[in-house]
Structure 1
């Protein structure tokens, strides 16, 4: 389909704002999650755009293609937060059609090297997701809502697996479990026991909560490294200070539960400051001594 799409990408390549173009072809299997069932994905990276992502679909005979125009800022956000996992497959597997000033080559090198800062932020985000899912799952378990608990535990194991993969210097792929089977067999075994065991749902969850507690605790320091390193910038923080800080904003809705978890584990201290109301205190936070 490359010949059919050539007029489209040649027009884009001639524009000064375009810094890279890649073509991703569907894999031989009938349904390809990488390309969302499309035969071809045309990824066009631009320096700036009116919108961060613009998508257009094309058809030719019995084939279909999708053009994704993505700004450099959006691409960097996806790579940092990992909230569009297909982008890694596209960058790894795609054919480079146009590469202004070796932009894509530098991008691929950065993916291979996986810089220290990027790893720490990603690990922090996965750890925060992990705490959220684990705590919610445990709450459902204690209320005897076992199917809801199971759903959250599956997700928490997924975040634990991704955390282990990143910790070992790799980007998590779309197919995480074959990847983690080689990197951290202990986590894979937990997952296998949860989905395959002949024990009752209650018993499976009970055993998994016990095992997960240890695995989460053992990764607290590495999982919270980025968050705590930012916290060191100031003596005392309000929660709103954290929400508005550019580097901490990536924790989003998981920020509150992450802070409370780190208080429980004695990484963060609560500072109470009197208000004008009797018996009411402002609640501030600082690094534990």
Structure 2
């Protein structure tokens, strides 16, 4: 006799609860899998990170995604990706040893001031990177490659907008942005669906992004400015790129530094290089 779904789920959870390495189990409702369910399992073992299994248990399909609490702690410090943020926000907590996951969910979904600045700086740097790439493709006459880079630039702008509003990006990013900033949404809509020629759509987008990167810069680079203020004297480019906080934030440093020099946030100076007799470009904060 086949077990009912709720009975199968109870048996499945009981098996997980017997495992000493399982800290919490969450279930995502309305998971798009016919006759199945999705579970996020938080474990104490780091080798569990991002392990995904699709299993058939008592006539029910189950998708398991395993993650260690070390990865959750890292996400609390450096930010969640869109998919994990959606799961953490929407999933029902079924197993929770010592209330760990309920406390962690609050931490994970709260954008602290320092985390918000880091994520804003990351997406702003990606906006700059893809914008510069798009303009280079245009100069080479590669319109389709430029179009692809502009789409990526707009996605970075969209995530930047969401972070500025104190939220995490959702998987349905453009539906979210439409509610938060219709002007950014309309630019994406114009690029994707406007009846004008592709060249004309791109031409209008260049002006809009150029204005955005200029007007948003002061607030968007606060994370990098505060980092550079921790040291007296000039910074080498490689020194900034190798800084643990920059690497953890995944910031596109070269594009960001170039724009900050152009806007007089930084001054480029000459420093002694690593090799004897060589000179190297370094950067000093202004004002």
Partners of 1:39 and 1:233 lie apart in 2 by 51
Matched position secondary structure for 1:234: coil
Q: 1:53 to 1:234 in 2, by over 3 A?
A: same
Following superposition, the deviation at residue 107 of structure 1 comes to 2.6
State the SS of the aligned residue for 1:258.
helix
| Contact kept? 1:23, 1:40, Cα under 8 Å | yes
Aligned to 2:228: 231
Confirm whether residue 47 of structure 1 aligns to residue 44 of structure 2: yes
Kept in 1, the 8 Å contact 2:125–2:256? The answer is yes
CA distance in 2, matches of 1:170, 1:83: 11
Of the candidates 217, 222, 226, which is equivalent to residue 220 of structure 1?
A: 217
Match runs of 1:115-130 below 5 Å: 115-130=112-127
Offset of residue 194 of structure 1: 1.3
Q: Which of the residues 240, 243, 246 maps onto 2:241? A: 243
Summarize the Cα distance change of 1:271–1:10 in structure 2 as closer, same or farther, 3 Å threshold: farther
For residues 214 and 124 of structure 1, do their structure 2 counterparts lie closer, same or farther at Cα, with a shift above 3 Å needed?
Answer: same
Residue 10 of structure 1, CA deviation = 2.8
Which one of 264, 267, 270 corresponds to residue 268 of structure 2?
270
1:44, distance to aligned residue in structure 2 (A): 1.1
TM-score, normalization by structure 2: 0.87
Instruction: Work out the number of aligned pairs and report it.
Output: 281
Alignment pair present for 1:18 and 2:22: yes
Structure 2 residues without counterparts, runs of 5 or longer: none
**Cα distance between partner residues in 2 of 1:40 and 1:145:** 45
> For the Cα contact (< 8 Å) 1:53–1:74, is it kept in 2?
no
State the partner residue of 1:3. 7
Q: Name which of structure 1's ranges 203-212 and 45-54 shifts more when overlaid on structure 2.
A: 45-54
Cα RMSD between the aligned structures? 2.5
Shift of 1:8: 4.1
Any conservation in 1 of the 2:43–2:66 contact (CA below 8 Å)? yes
1:98-127 per-residue CA deviation (whole Å, 9 max, x = no partner) reads 112322222332345422222111111111
Which secondary structure does the structure 2 equivalent of 1:126 belong to? Answer: helix
- Cα gap change, 1:38 to 1:166, in 2 (>3 Å): farther
Partners of 1:101 and 1:269 lie apart in 2 by 52
